[in-house]
Amino acid sequence: MRDVIQKMLEAEAEARRIVAAAEAEAERLHADARQQGQQLADKVRAETRAEADAIIEQACREAQHERQNRLDQASTSIEAEIQLDETSRAAVVEGVVRCVCGRS
């Protein structure tokens, strides 16, 4: 009878060791999974940030290009509207000189 009780106590002790080892393994696996999840989230954040930066940079380049095109178009339009022939230009210059010099 004593042998049976001893065997039961040993079996219970072995079961506790197995349960403790399983709990430790489960905790290790949980910690590894948490760490891998954090690493993946960090990687995705970095990739997303890099993509956003590239999109912003491209948009800035396009906006600058559009701005330059509009300035060129406005300049061409203004130059076309202000074109004066030589006679008109001479008359305007003469009028300005008379005004500045006080002659009527």
Tens digit of each residue's pLDDT (9 = 90 or more) over 55-87: 999 999 999 999 999 999 998 888 877 777 788
**In this structure, which amino acid lies at residue 71?**
L
pLDDT digits (tens, 9 = 90+) for 5-37: 898 989 999 999 999 999 999 999 999 999 999
C-alpha to C-alpha distances, 45 to 33, 61, 89, nearest whole angstrom: 18, 24, 63
Q: What is the pLDDT of residue 14?
A: 94
